[in-house]
Amino acid sequence: MFDLSLIWRLFSAPESLWVAWVKRTLLRNESFWIAPNNTQGSRIWRKLLKLRIFTSPFIQGIVRNGQTISFWHENWLSLGKLIDIIGDAGPRLLVIPLNATVSDASTPTGWRIRRTRMRHLDTVLEHIRAHPIPNAANGPDFYLWRIEAGSYKDRISSPHTWNQLRIHHPPVQWWRLLWFNHGIPRCRFITWLAIRNRLSTGVRMRRWGADQACVLCGERDESRDHLFFACPYSFTVWSDLAGRLLRNRQTPDWTDTVNSIQTFQGDRLDTILIRLVFQVTVYYLWREQNSRIHRSGFYSASQLVRLIDKVVRNRITSLQYHTDPKLHLLMQRWFTVAPP
């Protein structure tokens, strides 16, 4: 987005010293859209030139005196860029130079456009003739940035621009398990990897030629579903921490556990706690597994439960729950449902 904002600055900030230097030194008073892709300029400048194809649809020229906007290479008609519509033969067909501005293609009384017998150009020519003729009394041209389809503003918007550039996918059902304000970033990241099944478990390591059994219980086929929570060690930890929240919905099956948390029907405090406990448990079980693989010590199930309980309490304390009316009973609720 930083690169796009620099390109936008070329059109929206003519008083800028950097813009003046670029136009005089790098563009040599030519249009940005037809500047050659050569080795002149810095690496950033060369990158800006490569981004022209992505930036062009976002910049809409508003014609006043017509002395700035390129006739062929800028979006000043609702149809789009004329060079894309008519093609490279356009300057020859209409007898208007490739580097002409909109004012160069007009006179005080009309448009300086050559008649043509090509029927496919009739619609384009009608749009041009219907457009108001540039007039010096109207003031300088200016540009707008596309916020969404059919909507433009006089400033760039990073969120709206990114939303138009990115590839859209339907929301996943499990997003609420991860993206809530009360989670811990490192725990959220590991949980995201677990949900995507991208953790380096034994099953995945075997594809790379490494044999890795579950170091928590000795099971040979260590998979994501085994580690969370089919493994007796991990299920013991999970049961102690989440048993009073999930109650009879508690299960060692990974898919059922995720679905149970997604469809959890408790109040707001219990919903926050079950999501937080789930993330922290996944993180510390994964950390315990790695600690044992690298022989850096290990915790018993009861020790790990106490550690996770402490982490949850610290996180609740960091939320300043006592000053937030919506969270002031959060610690009290955790004391009620936490393992004894």
Examine residue 96 and state whether it is found in any structural domain, yes or no: yes
Are 66 and 188 found together in one domain?
A: no
Confidence at residue 323, expressed as pLDDT on a 0 to 100 scale: 78
Same domain, 102 and 182: no
**Residue 4: predicted pLDDT:** 92
Query: Are residues 141 and 262 part of one domain?
Result: no
What pTM does this model have? 0.70
Same domain (yes/no): 179, 243 = yes
Domain annotation covers residue 148? yes
Containing structural domain, residue 263: 175-337
Name which of 247, 236, 302 is nearest 274 in CA terms. 247
Of 221, 188, 192, 182, nearest in space to 204 by CA: 221
24 falls within a domain: yes
Helix axis angle, 330-337 relative to 301-318, nearest 10°? Answer: 170
What's the pLDDT score for residue 39? 65
* Report for 1-10, 151-160, 214-223, 273-282: range of highest mean pLDDT: 273-282
Confidence of residue 229 (pLDDT cuts 50, 70, 90): very high
Whether 195 and 333 share a structural domain? yes
Going by DSSP bridges, is the β-strand pair 142-148/151-153 parallel, antiparallel, or unpaired?
antiparallel
Whether residue 330 is found in the same domain as residue 268: yes
Q: Are residues 204 and 93 in the same domain?
A: no
Q: Compute the average pLDDT of residues 306-315.
A: 96
Q: Domain count of the chain? A: 2
When pLDDT is averaged across residues 126-138 and rounded to a whole number, the result is: 90
State pLDDT tens for residues 45-56.
Answer: 889 999 998 899
In a domain, 170, yes or no: no
Same domain, 140 and 189: no
Is residue 148 domain-shared with residue 188, that is, in the same domain?
no
What is the model's pLDDT at position 62?
A: 93
Q: Are residues 192 and 320 in the same domain?
A: yes
Q: Which of 139, 165, 191 is the last residue of a domain?
A: 165
Over pLDDT 90: what percentage of the chain?
56
Q: Are residues 249 and 153 in the same domain?
A: no
- 122 within domain boundaries: yes
